[in-house]
Chain A
Amino acid sequence: MKISQGMRALLAVAFFCSSASHAVETAPSFSFSDGSATVALKDLKDQVVYLDFWASWCGPCRKSMPWMNKMQEKYKDQGLVIIGVNVDSDRKAAEDFLKAVPANFKVVYDPEGKIAAQYKLMGMPNSFLIARDGTMQKRHVGFKEGLEDEYETEIRQLLKQ
């Protein structure tokens, strides 16, 4: 009983932590407000979505923000939409963080972790690259500055489709 649980945990971790794509599924949809309108993720068809889960207490998240700003600026005309889902339970902490490290992309607040649970996060930060057809193509657990070029190549590949 103990061994199989441990093995399952190890396998799950190895599986989800790799940046290779695996079982291609449709990204779970959720709604968020965009100005006065309410938009659902599945309505963002024909755009490549980079969905990133972040929190004010997460160090690597602080490092990923400038890079995500750069990506949003560089590829927005080609159809890249970056959505940062914040999982802080304390809204003020998230707002203070954004004052220090501003985001030029859409920020969605998920204080109860409902969207995070839908996406079965395996660590923080956790990002998902969603292709134009709404399928989840890549998952990344953690943010490594040394892999920024690799992450960018993946975005470019999906934008070409």
Chain B
Amino acid sequence: MQLKKKHKKKAIRGALTTASCTLLGLSNVAQAENAPWQFDAGVLYYSETDRVQAIEPVVTGKKDFGDDRWLNLKLVVDLLTGASPNGATPTNTPQTFTRPSGKGSYTIDANETPLDDTFRDTRVAVSGSWDQPLGDQLKGSFGANFSTEHDFLSLGASASLAYDMNKRNTTLSAGVSFESDTIKPEGGVPTPFASMVPAGSAQPRDASDDTRTLVDLLFGVTQVINRNMVMQVNYGISTSSGYHTDPYKILSVVDGSTGATTDYVYEHRPDSRNKQSLYWQMKYHLTEDIIDLSYRYLWDDWGVTSHTLDATYRWDLGGAKYLEPHVRYYQQSAADFYRVFLIDGAPLPAEASADYRLAEFTGITLGLKYGTQIKGHDTSVRLEYLSQTGDSSPSEAIGVLQDQDLYPDLKALMLQFRYTF
């Protein structure tokens, strides 16, 4: 039984190699079989206080087909549990909400942020890419990816080119990627701004699913500055069209004078989004240690602008051991259609969402990573702490809402293990 299993494993590896060689039109299958697959694995534990928890194991494999040609494969499994804010505001009375499926409901205590705990999912994603030289100074990379969970399906393809100049001190790169998403919400796609209806009754739904497509372009210049320093500048532009709404999120409709909740309506976002970003990164090698610094500025037609500043210091401890403290600072402005709540009787905006991810907030991450080698294999452990804070008492709060926390802080802990074998 044991022998059979080993034979099967070798046969699978051989078959994988032969299949990929044939598909890619390569001869020299025998030579390719000599280079071993290099595997890299990781597992991430993510935990927010009182909210979402996730475990995400990842394994990647890469194989050298000779002459700088590589096949890269990746498998991701994402297991999510826990609760997520549904967009309604907390208020001074208990609140009852209908589950997205329309077949049940849940109640939230007074003065508590409404969290929907039906948020339980498993996501599986597979991706692959092929890298190869296209000329003396030109390299190409072509990839495809696929991701699925019970209410979401994503298919994508990408291609990128890198051109070296100045004795390979300068590299110009350009990349394009396409993605097609299918959203199949549990219970169906809700009618925009429809009122939430009690469980058991006919739910306001438009369709069973909807779609969205994305196109991303990325242009970059990488420059070696001197023996110790390399720098990169990128410009990215991205456009997406289709269904961008979160089908599980609602907004509270409140009385204009007392602030008491009178209704809940499903949110609605624009059917297109155009983003642009400028990204700069620098790596500097000191005597033994390395500094990594990056900054990204992003802006889009939803009114969101953001700044991301990231700094890592790799403290070399000798003998392949290192300690790496990390700081990340993030600041974003609110989307134009972000509303903390809607006012009963006021004209409805074209789009509105109370999703905290579209609000104005600041996020700070502090982390520490320790790396070493076990029997020649690189391994590391990283612990990070993320804290997002926003305006808990915005000026637009009315009546009873003035006593509520209208932007509860997000605090999350991340533990990551890595192993190369």
Contacts and interface: CB of A to CB of B under 8 A. Distances in A.
Interface string A1-40: 0000010011001100100000000000000000000000
Given A6-B165, A13-B165, A123-B168, 19 more contacts: A9-B165, A9-B166, A10-B165, A13-B136, A13-B137, A13-B167, A14-B136, A17-B136, A60-B68, A123-B167, A141-B136, A142-B136, A144-B67, A145-B31, A145-B66, A145-B67, A146-B28, A146-B66, A146-B67
Interface in A122-161: 122-123, 141-142, 144-146
Contacts, number: 24
Nearest to A63: B66
Interface in B158-214: 165-168
A30 B166 CA distance: 27
A60 B166 CA distance: 20
Contacts of A141: 136
Interface of A: 6, 9-10, 13-14, 17, 60, 122-123, 141-142, 144-146
Interface of B: 28, 31, 66-68, 136-137, 165-168
A153 B64 CA distance: 26
Contacts of A17: 136-137
The secondary-structure label for the interface of chain B is loop
The secondary-structure label for the interface of chain A is helix
Contacts of B68: 60
B283 to A, nearest CB: 16
A60 B66 CA distance: 10
Nearest to B137: A13
A133 B28 CA distance: 38
B27 to A, nearest CB: 10
A44 to B, nearest CB: 29
24 contacts: A6-B165, A9-B165, A9-B166, A10-B165, A13-B136, A13-B137, A13-B165, A13-B167, A14-B136, A17-B136, A17-B137, A60-B68, A122-B167, A123-B167, A123-B168, A141-B136, A142-B136, A144-B67, A145-B31, A145-B66, A145-B67, A146-B28, A146-B66, A146-B67
Contacts of B31: 145
Nearest to B170: A9
Nearest to A6: B165
Nearest to B27: A146
A40 B124 CA distance: 63
Nearest to B28: A146
B154 to A, nearest CB: 34
Residue from B28, B31, B67, B168 with most neighbouring chain A CB atoms (10 Å):
B67
A145 B27 CA distance: 13
A30 to B, nearest CB: 21
A45 B137 CA distance: 35
A141 to B, nearest CB: 8
Contacts of B167: 13, 122-123
A60 B167 CA distance: 17
A21 B67 CA distance: 23
Nearest to A121: B167
A60 B28 CA distance: 18
Nearest to A12: B167
4 closest residue pairs by CB, A with B: A17-B136, A145-B66, A144-B67, A146-B67
